[in-house]
Amino acid sequence: MTLLHITSAFDGGNIIVHDAKDPSNIRLAIRPDNNSDFFQWFYYRVTGAKGQPLKMVLENAKDAAFTGGWENYRACASYDRETWFRVETTSYVNGQLIIEHTPEIDSVYYAYFAPYPMDRHADVVAEAALQEGVSLRVLGQTVQGQDLDCLSVGTGEKTIWIIARQHPGETMAEWWMEGFLSRILDTEDDVAMALREKATFHIVPNMCPDGGRNGNLRTNETGANLNREWGVATIQSAPEVYHTIKAMDEAKPDLCLDVHGDESLPYNFIAGAEGIPGYTQKQADNLAAFLSAYETGSPEFQTKHGYPVTAPGKANLTMCTNYTAHAYDCLAMTLEMPFKDNANSPNAEFGWSPDRSADLGAAVLDAMMAVVEEL
Ligand SMILES: [Zn+2]
């Protein structure tokens, strides 16, 4: 008889096993991010449970970073780590998250969202760097010594920066990047070719590779939340942001898009920089035009649901969007995608997914095209 076994000792893994003797009452906990109290990301493998109904209790779910993230949430599962489907998840009973599933084969993975492995990042970056007109440079090294990859493409006057995964557990952001990259590098796409003539793109597909590899939700190796480090990062605490700002100072953004996932809201939406001191009419007009064009270009994007708009002058300038809008007087935005699903067009089998994230990433070109001349 094969013994049931659970591990997270791999790239992006995160789980603490308290007791896995009884398949109908497996006791687990999510490990906090490095040097941090944040946690929510989980990713683990179960072996030796083929045909057995599993009841997996994540005991510390009530203390997770965003407990609203568990409401109407269903965990992701995969046999082949390519197709991630949703499984029955009882949210927040007595502060616990309970995942119930009967694996059909001997090896099954469970995760908060479809993971985005470092190997895949390396493959995508290498493939992009092979394309004509694309250059790759390393902005610097992370605390663990990983390279911070930046791809550049285009020859135009306008400068567009796109960064993703400042919060490493928001893997949909790098799935989005794959869709964006495949379209901007498509030499048969008229919009892509026009944009490459009008703008120069600088693309950082993964801002926090250490956190991604560690299985963190929100922080880098030192425990820094990168999206609270803009303008204050040191090379020791948050080299990822420190090096990116240095590169931006040399190629100042006319547009900066920072791609994220939101634990709670079941929608795709954008937050702007309305709260910065000196927010201009031009910034407001460009934001409105961008939002309207994104909504037209993708049925998955909407503008009705999102974060409340920050009052004038009250913006937190340590966040990428506010910092870049303020420092470079540009159109800066934060894109948020759901961990759960898009409530406007729910998909019972997959929820919000890598494929849907990639489609949304491809569609952003139409929104950029609508504003590029005005930046
Ligand atoms: Zn985020």
CB 86 within 8 A of CB 351: yes
Cα-only R_g, the chain = 20
Q: Ligand 1 centre from 222 Cα, in Å?
A: 17
CB 77 within 8 A of CB 86: yes
At residue 1, the pLDDT reads 55
The 3-state DSSP class for residue 226 equals helix
Percentages helix, strand, coil for the chain (3-state, rounded to 5) are 30, 25, 45
Q: Ligand 1 centre from 170 Cα, in Å?
A: 6
Q: Ligand 1 centre from 214 Cα, in Å?
A: 17
Closest to 163 in 3D by CA, of 153, 172, 174: 174
The secondary structure of 70-139 as a DSSP string is GTT---EEESSSS--EE-EEEEEETTEEEEEE--SSSEEEEESS----HHHHHHHHHHHHTSTTEEEEEE
Q: Ligand 1 centre from 65 Cα, in Å?
A: 12
CA end-to-end distance (rounded Å), the chain: 65
* 375 residues of the chain, pLDDT tens digit each: 568 999 999 999 999 999 999 999 999 999 999 999 999 999 999 999 999 999 999 999 999 999 999 999 999 999 999 999 999 999 777 789 999 999 999 999 999 999 999 999 999 999 999 999 999 999 999 999 999 999 999 999 999 999 999 999 999 999 999 999 999 999 999 999 999 999 999 999 999 999 999 999 999 999 999 999 999 999 999 999 999 999 999 999 999 999 999 999 999 999 999 999 999 999 999 999 999 999 999 999 999 999 999 999 999 999 999 999 999 999 999 999 999 999 999 999 999 999 999 999 999 999 999 999 999
CA gap 28, 355 in Å, rounded: 29
Q: Ligand 1 centre from 135 Cα, in Å?
A: 27
Q: Ligand 1 centre from 261 Cα, in Å?
A: 5
Q: Ligand 1 centre from 91 Cα, in Å?
A: 22
Q: Ligand 1 centre from 9 Cα, in Å?
A: 24
Burial of 119 (0-12, 13-18, 19+ CB in 10 A): exposed
Same fold, 5-111 and 118-374: no
List the chain domain ranges.
5-111, 118-374
Residue tagged active-site, from 59, 174, 295, 336? 336
* Topology adopted by domain 118-374: Aminopeptidase (3.40.630)
CA distance readout (Å), 70 to 63, 64, 110, 130, 354:
11, 9, 15, 41, 20
At residue 94, the pLDDT reads 77
Q: Ligand 1 centre from 293 Cα, in Å?
A: 23
Q: Strands, E, within the chain: which ranges?
A: 5-7, 16-19, 26-29, 43-47, 54-58, 76-78, 85-86, 88-93, 96-101, 107-111, 134-141, 147-153, 158-164, 199-204, 255-262, 269-271, 331-338
* Topology adopted by domain 5-111: Immunoglobulin-like (2.60.40)
Q: Ligand 1 centre from 109 Cα, in Å?
A: 24
The 3-state DSSP class for residue 149 equals strand
CA distance readout (Å), 290 to 154, 255, 374:
20, 11, 11
Torsion of CA 47, 48, 54, 55, to 10 degrees: -60
What strands, in cross-sheet order, belong to the sheet with 96-101?
A: 16-19, 26-29, 54-58, 96-101, 88-93
At residue 2, the pLDDT reads 67
Q: Ligand 1 centre from 145 Cα, in Å?
A: 23
Closest to 44 in 3D by CA, of 18, 82, 5, 73: 5
| Active-site residue, 240 included | no
CA gap 56, 336 in Å, rounded: 29
Q: Ligand 1 centre from 366 Cα, in Å?
A: 24
Continuous segment of H or E residues that includes residue 320: helix 320-328
